[in-house]
Amino acid sequence: MNGADILCDTLLANGIDTCFANPGTSEMHFVAALDRKPDLRCILGLSEGVVTGAADGYARMAEKPAATLLHLGPGLANGLANIHNARRANTPMLNIVGDHASYHLVHDAPLTTDIESLARPMSHWVRRVANAADVGRATAEAVSVAMTPPGQIATLILPADAAWNEAEQAPIRAERLPAWRPGEAKIRQAADAIRRGMQSGSDTVILMSGAALRGEALLTAGRIAQATGARIMAQQSNARVERGAGRVMIDRVPYAVDRALACFARTAQVVLVGAKSPVAFFAYPGKPSSMLPEQCRVVEMAGPGDDLSSALSGLADLLGVRDRVAPAVGERCAPDLPGGALTTATIAQAVAVLSPEGAILCDESVSSGREFFPASYGAAPHDFLQLTGGAIGLGLPLATGAAVACPRRKVIALQADGSAMYTVQALWTQAREALDVVTVIYSNRRYNILHNELKMVGAGAPGHNARRMLDLIDPALDWVHLAMGLGVEAARANDATQFNDLLRAAVASRGPFLIEALI
């Protein structure tokens, strides 16, 4: 048995049975070992950004890490943007980065790089395997780190000779650390803050993220809000939110600075439950970085790695909130499908009406999809996944990974055209794996958000050079031909009726389909 076999056996022994890969020469023994392990599903991505983004989407839905297989430092570097997004989502991920044989490094071959230095800023843990006998221990440690609540990025560097050399080692079980309930003092401090708000009539916000936005935790938060008058909100970017009819209605912190400032203008206190205090995505001349008033009190009841459901239950107990208090939930609505011109609003309404129960909505629509969140409170129950770290190019891979994790659920990707070009290769993986993904491309043929940002920072109206950098024309992207060239059936919608018909048909069938929505 060689080191590569030990690595695969250790992954399988710890429940990791999916590997998103883009291998090279130094990983060929690992590739050969995967051939001998039929229980470990191998999925090829044609760029490393697809590999790491798909691993992110997979873990958000499977609630366990996938492995990635990356080729040396440059392969890792190609995947770093979506590793950054995964880190911001608190996604468990185990990156396996092949390297030259240990004795070959001294020769400084063309692909030799400082992999540790590349990996460290985006990883919680980086470890180089010493030799074949070290593979099992190192892999088990990587799994343990990745599964540390709320989820971490572990990067394991595998020299080629550690993969091909022989060793005898039984698979090692990784240590699993539980999420901890916050101390009673923190929960009591939060309860006192909410009581003060009730007594004074001041605005209290319970700002949440992570597991607090799902299941019983979200129901408990809804009961607390209903009983106390506190507002519950999700932070601006979240890994996964359970939404739709019958679920607690919760809005996000607005992206736009002026809207966020207005949202918190009267807020006297904020209780954080797995969330960060709200700040602007970027700095703007003459505008504050924090979205909270200067006198607003911030109480951190629970951090991202804490047991958020338990913390909210403890808070409900201290506040005397019982199960008989019903939270405000979305009511199922099926409005008429919109007609006329195709706009971001009509797309949002159509997706909300036609999404089936249990759908997974993956959002990288950037500015175009902002109408979807308020339009979909009454949609069929669904999970909502979004871009978390701001590094564009996540949407198509995110949907790919979610579809691998949940093959019986329809995945709908809401995707801006400019950011889709970063990882368009994900469509090929969807075709090869016959994944049930409907992709909606918001085809406005421009970086619309950057047009707005140019104005927001006070840089003036775009001239010739600026438009050349911000517009996607001359030539215009042709998403129907791009998708079909990668094996995905596609069609174009020019008006709302065409879009409705295409989306209805795509949702009713299985397999990948792309709709280019000209807006």
DSSP 371-425: THHHHTTTSSSEEEEE--SS-SS-HHHHHHHHHHH-TTS-EEEEEEHHHHGGGTT
pLDDT at 31: 95
Residue-range domain boundaries for the chain: 3-164, 184-319, 344-518
Q: What is the pLDDT of residue 445?
A: 76
User: What's the CATH number of domain 3-164, 3.20.20.370, 3.40.640.10, 3.40.50.970, 3.40.190.10?
Assistant: 3.40.50.970
**DSSP state for residue 63 in the 8-state scheme:** S
- What integer pLDDT is reported at residue 333 of this predicted model? 80
Whole-model pTM?
0.95
| Topology alike, domains 3-164 and 184-319 | yes
Give, for all 519 residues of the chain, the pLDDT tens digit. Answer: 999 999 999 999 999 999 999 999 999 999 999 999 999 999 999 999 999 999 999 999 999 999 999 999 999 999 999 999 999 999 999 999 999 999 999 999 999 999 999 999 999 999 999 999 999 999 999 999 999 999 999 999 999 999 999 998 888 999 888 889 899 999 999 999 999 999 999 999 999 999 999 999 999 999 999 999 999 999 999 999 999 999 999 999 999 999 999 999 999 999 999 999 999 999 999 999 999 999 999 999 999 999 999 999 999 999 999 777 889 898 888 778 989 999 999 999 999 999 999 999 999 998 777 888 888 999 999 999 999 999 999 999 999 999 999 999 999 999 999 999 999 999 999 999 999 999 999 998 777 778 778 777 787 788 888 888 888 888 999 999 999 999 999 999 999 999 999 999 999 999 999 999 998
Task: Say if residue 150 is preceded by a cis peptide, omega within 30 of 0.
Answer: yes
Q: Are 223 and 321 in contact (CB under 8 A)?
A: yes
In whole angstroms, give the CA distance from residue 67 to residue 35. Answer: 15
Pull the structure tokens for residue 220. Answer: 């408990």
| Angle 278-284-289 from CA coordinates, rounded to 5° | 25
Question: What would the two tokens of residue 184 be?
Answer: 């009673």
If one looks up domain 184-319 in CATH, what number appears?
3.40.50.1220
Amino acid sitting at position 436: D
For 391, other C-beta atoms within 10 Å of its C-beta total 18
Tell me the backbone φ, ψ of residue 358, rounded to 5 degrees: 85, 5
For residue 251, the model assigns a pLDDT of 93
**Cα 84 from Cα 90, distance rounded (Å):** 10
* 491 φ, ψ (degrees, to nearest 5): -150, 165
Nearest to 276 by CA among 207, 203, 214: 207
Q: Which of 438, 366, 358 is nearest to 400 (CA)?
A: 438
Assigned CATH class of 344-518 = alpha beta
Distance CA 134, CA 159 (A): 11
User: Measured in Å, how far apart are the chain's first and last C-alpha atoms?
Assistant: 57
Q: Quick one: which H or E segment has residue 482?
A: helix 479-485
| SS3 track for 307-324 | CHHHHHHHHHHHHCCCCC
